Amino acid sequence: MRSGASMTASELRANIYRLLDSVLETGIPLEIERKGQVLLIALKEPPDRLDRLIRREEFVSGDAGDLVHLDWTREWKP
């Protein structure tokens, strides 16, 4: 579901659980058009963007200051 996704109440009814799960997983609100008005289904408190980061084992995590004293001479190729 993209940001600002808008649909009718009938479309919501046909896929309600999948759409609600999508709002929970992505934090992207869902707009529903009903009787000329727009309703919004959204999380009460938006998720922290850092919580959605994918863990990458191949990258360094920790204090950047610890990298200052590493010896990279074997890795460096001019």
Query: SS3 of 50, please?
Result: helix
Which single residue is written with the structure tokens 């009903």?
34
The identity of residue 14, as a single letter, is A
Q: pLDDT tens, 34-74?
A: 999 999 999 998 777 787 788 887 777 778 787 788 888 88
Q: 2 pLDDT band (50/70/90 cuts)?
A: very low
d(CA 53, CA 13): 31
Count of C-beta atoms within a 10 Å radius of residue 29: 15
Comparison of pLDDT for 61 and 25, the residue scoring more: 25
Number of H helices and E strands in the chain, helices first, is: 2, 3
| pLDDT at residue number 21 | 93
Contacts 24+ apart (CB under 8 A), 41-49: none
Q: What is the mean pLDDT of residues 24-28?
A: 86
